[in-house]
Amino acid sequence: MSTQENDITGTGPDAAFELSTARVCAIVNMGSGRKAGGDIAGALREALAGRVAALDIRTARGEDLPAAARRAVEEGFDLIIAAGGDGTQSAVAGAVAGSNAVMAVIPGGTFNYFARDLGSGETVEEALRIFDAPRVRPVDIGEMNGMVFLNNVSFGAYPEILKHRESVYRRWGRSRIAAYWSAVAALWNLRRPLHLTVRANGKEQRLATALAFVAKSAYQLDSFGLLEGAGCVRRGQLALLVARARRPGPLVRSALRLALGKTARYADFDLICAEEFQIETVPRHEYVAHDGEKTWMDSPFQVRVRHGALKVLVPAESKGQDAE
């Protein structure tokens, strides 16, 4: 994958970023996590006022985020800050990837895997330290049918989990405990397996499963105990994990082991590592989860790594998840 030991998924050494001459646009998702968007906007204004050439703080929600990020790129901002959860980071990254702009991450969601993978921290306060001695790091991203993802895309049970999670959040509030509970409850209602045809590394496999996901985050895989998959990501590949379970009971047991980081990969998942996949699903019109969001998409799915396509701001001491 990467030639530098301290890149999480990058293609070259970190470079200094000159904050004082940068035109900065911050895009704050007012609906992320615990909905503290106003507080995050205020913290950014306080942290960056007088330290940058220009600062424009914009607020958005959900489906408006990609358009807001595209406008910021078109307007030529040097640094585009994405403040929100993993879905926010993914939406902004989709616009910033391949452009001249650099992206910065301020976590405001429930899990914040991308920020943690970068070494930027899990809280707003930790992430603001990025601006003390900022460095630019090129990182790999995932892409499926033109859609950018930073952590994972998944098929089968997980999109249903996200749907169920929304009702749990509305009743009990956002927390990781609520998220895990919603997963178990949703899995018990699973009714049909998903049929996949996977083409990768010159081979074709036909699989039936309750859950499959393509992972891009080594940090996330490490936290679930899926160390071999994390190794694939660090080598510049994607990790496709296909649950061997087809029914609710076994899948719930696998999910609990996953949540506890005790997954036995050979017992619970088949692993395929590749830089590109073609995945066909039955049914063809499939509900897909991507970085905590969900949408309907049509098979076949072309999934690939875009090496070094996104430039992100990281703190000077960050070594990401590739450090030994």
| 186 has pLDDT over 50 | yes
| 324 has pLDDT over 90 | no
**Distance (Å, rounded) from C-alpha 6 to C-alpha 109?**
25
pLDDT tens column, 38-58? 889 999 999 999 999 999 999
pLDDT bin (cut points 50, 70, 90) of residue 61 is: confident
Report pTM.
0.82
Residue 322 is predicted with a pLDDT of 45
pLDDT tens column, 279-309? 999 889 888 989 988 889 999 999 999 999 9
Yes or no: say if 315 and 130 are a contact pair by the CB < 8 Å rule.
Answer: yes
Mean pLDDT of 267-284: 92
Q: Is the dihedral of CA 33, 39, 41, 44 positive or negative?
A: negative
Instruction: Tokens 């499959």: give the residue.
Output: 212
The single-letter DSSP state of residue 10 is B
First to last CA, the chain: 15
- Least confident range from 89-103, 151-165, 207-221: namely 151-165
| 242 has pLDDT over 70 | yes
Nearest to 65 by CA among 292, 300, 308, 218: 292
Mean pLDDT of 201-224: 92
Mean pLDDT of 63-74: 96
Q: What are phi and psi of 205, to 5 degrees?
A: -130, 140
Yes or no: say if 127 and 105 are a contact pair by the CB < 8 Å rule.
Answer: yes
Instruction: Return the higher-pLDDT residue of 172 and 51.
Output: 51
Residue 6 is predicted with a pLDDT of 32
Yes or no: say if 306 and 140 are a contact pair by the CB < 8 Å rule.
Answer: yes
Nearest to 312 by CA among 115, 56, 88: 115
Strand spans (E) along the chain: 15-16, 23-29, 54-60, 79-84, 102-107, 134-144, 147-149, 152-156, 194-200, 203-209, 211-215, 238-243, 269-274, 276-282, 285-290, 293-298, 301-315
Nearest to 139 by CA among 313, 315, 316: 313
Yes or no: say if 160 and 287 are a contact pair by the CB < 8 Å rule.
Answer: yes
Residue 193 is predicted with a pLDDT of 76
pLDDT bin (cut points 50, 70, 90) of residue 170 is: low
Residue 283 is predicted with a pLDDT of 84
Between the alpha carbon of residue 2 and those of residues 90, 151, 154, 233, 236, the distances in Å are 21, 17, 25, 10, 7
| 4 has pLDDT over 50 | no
| 255 has pLDDT over 70 | no
**Distance (Å, rounded) from C-alpha 18 to C-alpha 80?**
14
Yes or no: say if 66 and 9 are a contact pair by the CB < 8 Å rule.
Answer: no
Q: Token pair of 319, please?
A: 């070594």
